[in-house]
């Protein structure tokens, strides 16, 4: 028997011993009340809304896809899942320097920014094997983008419009910024990339508008009422990728608290916890505590096999353990939309 067989047998034995999720739910009331008293994040007003939403979410049969190998595209006829909505890439580039391949795309809400893009921002990253990277930031809803670009750096022409070339704001690289539209702000930056000024300008000038969507291969069957999406990210390779969604309580800044849903082969959770069975898969629930040092976050980890884990983490008072269980049951791993990984 191989090591992998022994690990798999141990997981099955743990799943057999695990407490059914129905029994866990029945005993959650006291623990949820204790957790709410313990955590002070100023979100208690939203608890009633989320609790009502959870009742509807948990009633939905699980559509979690158990994956035993590299993620695959969904079969023909797979229904579209409404959450999250796929944002547009906004722009695509027609030329990338030799040696770089794309390994990361991230959408994030930046409406809280006071001196940068507002609305949302989409970031794409190309890397070389030696670690150098190129980063393209696209914001399609930035008022007065030329005011943000300012007058620093060398004036350059990008597609008939004006831009600026020079050091990045953090001083760690060089880049070019330009505003192709009244509310559009694009930034192309190189970090330890070993590319020339001419290379950066050529890549920037190859950017053209694109309506292609940023498709995230982790979905929810129904939108999670009581939460708002603040970020999503896909990274890795076409055969071994990771994806995450970040949520905040509706009506509150993500600085107040967060809830993340993460899928991949790395375990982003501490050991231990209460064993559960969710969608026929072994899982464990870890509650935060006020111990020293404090552990403010609750976590739910679902083992999907082949070292693939679904990990939900939160420090929101309204995201009770019952909410985490409901979200996990409502999660779908489609594997769709990752064909760009590893390409130029």
Residue 10 lies in a domain: yes
Domain boundary among 213, 231, 265: 213
* Residue 344 domain-assigned (yes or no): no
53 in a domain, yes or no?
yes
Domain identity same for 193 and 120? yes
Q: Report which DSSP code applies to 74.
A: P
Residue 175 host element (H or E): strand 174-181
Q: How many whole angstroms separate alpha carbon 333 and alpha carbon 175?
A: 36
24 and 103 assigned to the same domain? no
Is 164 inside any structural domain?
A: yes
Asked if 53 and 185 touch (Cβ cutoff 8 Å), the reply is: no
Residues 106 and 74 in one domain: no
Give a yes or no: residue 341 inside a domain: no
Q: Are residues 121 and 178 in the same domain?
A: yes
Enter the tokens of residue 192. 């330890």
Kindly give, in sequence order, each residue whose CB lies less than 8 Å from that of residue 173, ignoring residues fewer than 6 positions away.
Answer: 167, 189, 190, 191, 192, 193
Q: How far is CA 31 from the centre of its chain?
A: 28
Rounded distance between C-alpha atoms, residue 330 and residue 252, angstroms: 23
Same domain assignment for residues 287 and 245:
yes
The sign of the dihedral angle between the CA atoms of 191, 171, 256, 31 is positive
- Per-residue tens of pLDDT for the chain, all 344 residues: 333 343 334 434 443 444 444 444 444 444 444 444 443 333 333 333 333 333 222 222 333 443 333 344 444 444 568 899 999 999 999 999 999 999 999 999 887 555 556 689 999 999 999 989 999 999 998 888 888 888 889 999 998 888 999 999 899 999 999 999 889 999 999 999 999 999 999 999 999 999 999 999 999 998 888 888 999 999 999 889 999 999 988 776 666 788 999 999 987 788 899 999 998 999 999 988 766 565 668 999 999 998 899 999 998 888 888 899 999 999 999 999 999 999 99
CB distance 262 to 10 below 8 Å: no
Q: Which one, of 21, 75, 28, lies nearest residue 280 by Cα?
A: 21
Same domain? For 196 and 237 the reply is no
Paired tokens of 227: 């939460």
- Both 105 and 188 in a single domain? yes
Backbone angles phi, psi at 73, to 5 degrees: -65, 150
The model's pTM is 0.77
- The mean of the pLDDT values for the chain is 78
Question: Are 203 and 274 found together in one domain?
Answer: no
User: What is the separation, in whole angstroms, between the first and last Cα of the chain?
Assistant: 42
CA 239-96-201 angle, to 5 degrees, is 150
177 and 232, same domain (yes or no) = no
Q: Has residue 327 been placed in a domain?
A: yes
Within 95-180, residue ranges assigned H as helices are: 145-149
Boundary of a domain, candidates 170, 195, 213 = 213
Domains held by the chain: number: 2
**Residues 92 and 77 placed together within one structural domain of the fold:** no
Say which residue the tokens 């920037």 belong to.
204
**Residue 220 and residue 207 share a domain:** no
CA pseudo-torsion sign 60, 64, 65, 71: positive
Whether 119 and 14 map to the same domain: the answer is: no
Alpha carbon distance 321, 79 (integer Å): 28
* pLDDT of amino acid 254: 63
CATH of residue 177: 3.30.200.100
Domain extent, residue 153, equals: 88-213
Residue at which a domain ends, from 198, 213, 228: 213
Residue 343, in any domain of the structure:
no
């Amino acid at each position: 028997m191989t090591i992998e067989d022994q690990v798999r047998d141990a997981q099955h034995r743990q799943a057999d011993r695990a407490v059914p999720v129905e029994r866990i739910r029945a005993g959650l009331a006291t623990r949820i009340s204790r957790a709410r008293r313990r955590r002070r994040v100023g979100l208690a007003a939203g608890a009633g809304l989320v609790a009502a939403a959870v009742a509807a979410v948990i009633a939905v049969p699980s559509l979690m896809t158990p994956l035993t190998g590299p993620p695959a595209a969904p079969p023909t006829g797979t229904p579209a899942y409404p959450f999250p909505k796929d944002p547009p890439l906004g722009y695509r580039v027609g030329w990338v320097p030799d040696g770089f391949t794309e390994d990361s795309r991230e959408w994030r809400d930046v409406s809280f920014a006071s001196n940068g893009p507002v609305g949302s921002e989409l970031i794409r990253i190309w890397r070389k094997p030696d670690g150098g990277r190129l980063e393209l930031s696209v914001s399609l809803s930035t008022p007065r983008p030329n005011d943000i670009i300012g007058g620093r750096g060398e004036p350059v022409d990008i597609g008939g419009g004006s831009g600026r070339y020079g050091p990045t704001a953090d001083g760690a690289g060089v880049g070019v910024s330009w505003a192709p539209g009244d509310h559009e702000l694009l930034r192309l930056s190189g970090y330890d990339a070993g590319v020339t000024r001419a290379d950066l300008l050529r890549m920037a000038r190859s950017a053209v508008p694109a309506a292609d969507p940023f498709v995230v291969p982790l979905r929810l069957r129904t939108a999670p009422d009581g939460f708002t999406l603040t970020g999503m990210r896909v990274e890795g390779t076409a055969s071994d990728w990771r994806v995450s969604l970040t949520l905040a309580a509706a009506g509150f800044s993500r600085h107040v608290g967060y809830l993340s849903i993460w899928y991949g082969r790395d375990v982003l959770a501490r050991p231990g916890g209460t064993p559960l069975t969710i969608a026929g898969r072994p899982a464990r629930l870890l509650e935060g505590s006020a111990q020293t040092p404090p552990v403010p976050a609750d976590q739910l980890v679902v083992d999907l096999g082949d070292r693939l884990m679904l990990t939900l983490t939160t420090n929101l008072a309204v995201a009770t353990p019952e909410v985490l269980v409901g979200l996990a049951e409502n999660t779908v791993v489609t594997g769709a939309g990752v064909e760009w990984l590893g390409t130029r």
